[in-house]
Amino acid sequence: MSLVDRPFYSARPEWKDVEPLEQYENINPLAPILYTDEYKDATNYFRGVVRDGEKSERVLELTEHIIRLNPAHYSAWQYRYETLIALNSPLATELQLMDEIAVKHLKTYQVWHHRRLLLIQLRDPNPELKFIAQSLKADAKNYHTWSYRQWLLAYFNNDDLWSGELDFVDHMVNEDVRNNSAWHHRFFVVFQSGIRDSEKDRERVIKRELIYVKQSISLVPNNASAWNYLRGILDHNKLPYLTVQVFLEAYTLDTPPATGDIVDLENPPPSKEAQLPCPAAIELLADVHELQGAEGVGKAIDLWKSLRDIYDTIRKRYWDHRIKGASHREGV
Amino acid sequence: MLDAPLPPCSRLGHVGHAKRCLSGLPSAQVELDASTMAVVFYCIGTLDLLEMLEGKTSESDRQSWRDWVWEQQTHGPNGSGFRPSTYMTPQRSPNVQEDCTSYDGPHVIMSYTALLSLAILRDDFSQLDRPGLIKFLKSCQREDGSFSTVIGSGDTDLRTLYCAFAISSMLDDWSGINVDLALQFVAKCRTYEGGYGQSPNCEAQGGTTYISVASLYLAPGSPSTRLTPPERQKTIQWLVRNQLSSGGFTGRTNKEADACYCFWCGAALQILGARELVNVRGLGQFLSSCQFKYGGIAKVPGEHPDPYHTYLSLAALSMYPPEADPTWAFGPLDPLLNARVETSNWARAHIPAR
Ligand SMILES: [Zn+2]
């Protein structure tokens, strides 16, 4: 983990004026970490600097060193940020350094938190979108990376920032149609981040989204992310589940229906390669039926039984619970 | 496959793993430097869940552990609480009482794990600075209702909020936090999938869903006013769907199963009163396959174990013991505080001011 062969701070004349402070250790420490000499040396000097309250260029070097050895050292991050501000350091340079450090430590919370603090000062969010897209190439489902994008969009909330977002998320979904982070992001962009001018015609937007998700399902039916998205559209916009009944039915059969040349955008059929029946479609169709009186409940129960016994046996107890609940309510 | 008999739980192996970690961690684990208290909690908690604390450790060990945890209680101008370890503390005479620097101060998540660790060790909590702890929580709550982990840091998400709730609940004193504001923040983290994300606008995730649900049920007052029946139903549905055909739970839609989500999702379901919906057999199969041959439990089969996944797996099994095998039998767990029921009873009896 060591950087080039750099001499220890204790051997460097320019650090002579700082008193290194060893870490306090109880005689019986619990879960002590066997530090490397390099880490010990750097943190000894860090404790010294913190006690003196020194905020200088060399503190930036020291905190960078510690962060590279232990990116979860939140005190080093906090002190580094305060030093940057105290020195009036060019934060754009810091951001460049972070481009490199972030990619190395994508899973460390502090890396992203520091970036937010920098952006709040710099107030130049647009180039960040490209950086985020780049780091998603290394890890397309990274939670921190997506949260950072969501924060950036919501915090700065300018039209320019939002303008390419649907295309971006479409690209991410196409790269991996099972990437739930991308589907979640689409929902956030379309339904949960305010309504931008180009999206004012909500009826058109809802129709567009329904077609989008149904098309995706028709190509890859067994994709929980897409089904959750479909349910999300219906619930969020208070659309009755009944509106998708026709669409669903084809997905609950054992084989794709024979189709003519007529393309029905509202009800795209499952592709020829589709694995059928699709448990998520059976589940949603059962939800549709459940709302349609005693006869509907009977149909729903048959569907739940097929899930319980054949198509989704891991959730046997859940399907039993649904069957019991509905029978009880309807007195079936 | 899920009907195959379970391999036995290597209880002594897991004890060994916890004790080894308590005695020291290799330098490669340096990223745990700023969260040692949590590691300590997972290790001591593992011994507690296995009911091996009395049998496999000495009273003098346990006393030195209590002393270590108390040594992390620090006092500053904005209140007191527990720090992760002495990783920012300079060497000095331990008798010198001085205010901590703001870089060596208390941490909300570490305070929660410290209180639970002390409860496991059956401490009498006579050393607890209760007013200081309440003041500390107050200083950490932000305008949007969320909490920062340490004073003055913008580092905030739902985990910290849950820990502030759990601490207030253990203290039986909610004066340190604005509960309504905090609950508004929780509500903002809810997503269309039925789970909760780490912050507003974020994707639904098993860990933060547990934390949200537990917070809704820990807060004083009636949980049913905070979660409508359809909302509750949708959350249950999402949680149940996270159990995969391997029997393990995933934390997010379309991701792989991971041992820790057996706890996070399983505990959320138990809190929501839906424990009968879990496939207990499958859960036991998955977690038993995550056991490492030299002790400890890993996030997935074939990987190296760690205290976090070991503790959470055993905690999941405590809620959902697979009936068949006696080596997999555990005492009951309090899912709200994430501790064995006896431990949580001890905490609730001894932590409040008297
Ligand atoms: Zn995990």
The closest of B42, B7, B49 to B22, measured between CA atoms, is: B42
User: Cβ B91–A24 below 8 Å, yes or no?
Assistant: yes
CA triple B266-A151-B149, angle to 5 deg: 60
User: How far is B85 from B36, CA to CA, in rounded Å?
Assistant: 6
Contacts of B27 in chain A (CB under 8 A): 33-36, 39
Let me know if A107 is a catalytic residue: yes
User: How far is A80 from A66, CA to CA, in rounded Å?
Assistant: 10
Nearest-by-Cβ selection for A232 from B32, B193, B201 = B193
The rounded Å distance from CA B300 to ligand 1 centre is 8
User: Cβ A29–B33 below 8 Å, yes or no?
Assistant: no
Contact B55, B19 (CB under 8 A): no
Q: Give the H or E element holding residue B304.
A: none
Backbone dihedral angles phi then psi of residue B14, each to the nearest 5 degrees: -70, -35
Query: Residue A255 has what pLDDT?
Result: 86
Q: Which amino acid is at A120?
A: I
CA triple A317-A318-A324, angle to 5 deg: 90
CA triple A119-A125-A130, angle to 5 deg: 115
| Four-residue CA torsion sign, B251, B256, B261, B266 | positive
User: Cβ B153–A78 below 8 Å, yes or no?
Assistant: yes
CA triple A294-B239-A133, angle to 5 deg: 120
From the CA of A231, how many Å to the nearest CA of chain B? 8
Task: Return the structure tokens found at B107.
Answer: 């941490």
Q: Which residue of B has its CA nearest to A71?
A: B31
The closest of A199, A122, A201, A196 to A158, measured between CA atoms, is: A196
Query: Residue A3 has what pLDDT?
Result: 55
Contact B2, B285 (CB under 8 A): yes
User: How far is A169 from A164, CA to CA, in rounded Å?
Assistant: 9
User: How far is B22 from B68, CA to CA, in rounded Å?
Assistant: 12
The rounded Å distance from CA A310 to ligand 1 centre is 30
From the CA of A265, how many Å to the nearest CA of chain B? 24
User: Cβ A23–B87 below 8 Å, yes or no?
Assistant: yes
User: How far is B179 from B88, CA to CA, in rounded Å?
Assistant: 32
User: Cβ B31–A24 below 8 Å, yes or no?
Assistant: no
User: Cβ A154–B198 below 8 Å, yes or no?
Assistant: no
Would you tell me the crossing angle of helices A91-104 and A57-69 to the nearest 10 degrees? 10
Instruction: Kindly calculate the radius of gyration of chain A based on its CA atoms and give it in whole angstroms.
Output: 28
Q: Give the H or E element holding residue B117.
A: helix B108-120
User: How far is A319 from B69, CA to CA, in rounded Å?
Assistant: 47
Per-residue pLDDT of chain B in tens (354 residues, 90 and over written 9) = 567 789 999 999 999 999 999 999 999 999 999 999 999 999 999 999 999 999 999 999 999 999 999 999 999 889 999 999 999 999 875 555 555 678 899 999 999 999 999 999 999 999 999 999 999 999 999 999 999 999 877 777 799 999 999 999 999 999 999 999 999 999 999 999 999 999 999 999 999 999 999 999 999 998 888 999 999 999 999 999 999 999 999 999 999 999 999 999 999 999 999 999 999 999 999 999 999 999 999 999 999 999 999 999 999 999 999 977 889 999 999 999 999 999 999 999 999 998
Query: Residue B152 has what pLDDT?
Result: 79
The closest of B336, B313, B285 to B165, measured between CA atoms, is: B336
Beta-carbon contacts of B95 under 8 Å, excluding residues fewer than 6 positions away, are none
Q: Helices marked H in B242-333 — which ranges?
A: 259-271, 280-289, 307-319
| Active-site entry in A16, A107, A207, A324 | A107
CB atoms within 10 A of CB A174: 11
CA triple B164-B167-B169, angle to 5 deg: 110
DSSP string, A258-289: P--S---TTSPPPPTT--SS-HHHHHHHHHHH
Nearest-by-Cβ selection for B68 from A29, A74, A185 = A29
User: How far is A23 from A51, CA to CA, in rounded Å?
Assistant: 13
User: How far is B84 from A271, CA to CA, in rounded Å?
Assistant: 55
The rounded Å distance from CA B144 to ligand 1 centre is 29
Task: Return the structure tokens found at B306.
Answer: 């760690």
Nearest-by-Cβ selection for B201 from A154, A179, A318 = A154
Task: Return the structure tokens found at A261.
Answer: 């040349």
Nearest-by-Cβ selection for A21 from B29, B90, B198 = B90
Nearest-by-Cβ selection for B27 from A34, A143, A225 = A34
Per-residue CA distances from B95 to A24, A107, B85, B87 (Å): 12, 39, 17, 18
Q: Which residue of B has its CA nearest to A67?
A: B31
Query: Residue A27 has what pLDDT?
Result: 83
Query: Residue A17 has what pLDDT?
Result: 97
User: How far is B63 from B118, CA to CA, in rounded Å?
Assistant: 10
Would you tell me the crossing angle of helices B206-218 and B179-188 to the nearest 10 degrees? 150
Query: Residue B57 has what pLDDT?
Result: 94
User: How far is A38 from A251, CA to CA, in rounded Å?
Assistant: 61
- Asked if A318 is an interface residue toward chain B (Cβ–Cβ < 8 A), one would say yes
- Asked if A252 is an interface residue toward chain B (Cβ–Cβ < 8 A), one would say no
Nearest-by-Cβ selection for B68 from A26, A72, A143 = A26
Query: Residue A190 has what pLDDT?
Result: 98
What's the burial of B206, exposed, middle or buried (CB within 10 Å: 0-12/13-18/19+)? buried
> B3 - beta bridge partners?
none
User: Cβ B153–A34 below 8 Å, yes or no?
Assistant: no
Beta-carbon contacts of A207 under 8 Å, excluding residues fewer than 6 positions away, are none
Interface test mutation site (partner A, options B32, B88, B275, max chain A beta carbons within 10 A): B88
User: Cβ B101–A236 below 8 Å, yes or no?
Assistant: no
The rounded Å distance from CA B207 to ligand 1 centre is 9
- Asked if A75 is an interface residue toward chain B (Cβ–Cβ < 8 A), one would say yes
From the CA of B16, how many Å to the nearest CA of chain A? 14
List Cβ<8 Å contacts ≥24 apart for A263-272. A265/A211, A265/A215, A266/A210, A266/A211, A266/A214, A267/A214, A268/A214, A268/A215, A268/A217, A268/A218, A269/A218, A270/A217, A270/A218, A270/A221, A271/A218, A271/A219, A271/A221
Interface test mutation site (partner A, options B73, B87, B240, max chain A beta carbons within 10 A): B87
The closest of B258, B261, B161 to B211, measured between CA atoms, is: B161
> For chain A, how many helices (H) and strands (E)?
16, 0
User: Cβ A33–B33 below 8 Å, yes or no?
Assistant: yes
The rounded Å distance from CA B9 to ligand 1 centre is 19
pTM, two decimals, is 0.96
Contacts of B252 in chain A (CB under 8 A): 141, 143, 180-181
From the CA of A49, how many Å to the nearest CA of chain B? 11
pLDDT below 70 — which residues of chain A?
Answer: 1-4, 259-262, 331-332
User: How far is A210 from A327, CA to CA, in rounded Å?
Assistant: 32
State pLDDT tens for residues A71-89: 999 999 999 999 999 999 9
Contact A38, A10 (CB under 8 A): no
Contacts of B152 in chain A (CB under 8 A): 78
Residue B312, SS3? helix
Backbone dihedral angles phi then psi of residue A72, each to the nearest 5 degrees: -95, 10
User: How far is B189 from B196, CA to CA, in rounded Å?
Assistant: 5
- Asked if A117 is an interface residue toward chain B (Cβ–Cβ < 8 A), one would say yes
Contacts of A43 in chain B (CB under 8 A): 87
User: Cβ A32–B64 below 8 Å, yes or no?
Assistant: no
Residue B250, SS3? strand
Q: Identify the structural domains of chain B with CATH numbers, from first to last.
A: 11-88+101-350 (1.50.10.20)
From the CA of A264, how many Å to the nearest CA of chain B? 27
Contacts of B255 in chain A (CB under 8 A): 141, 180
Task: Return the structure tokens found at A221.
Answer: 């039916």
The closest of B25, B34, B20 to A33, measured between CA atoms, is: B25
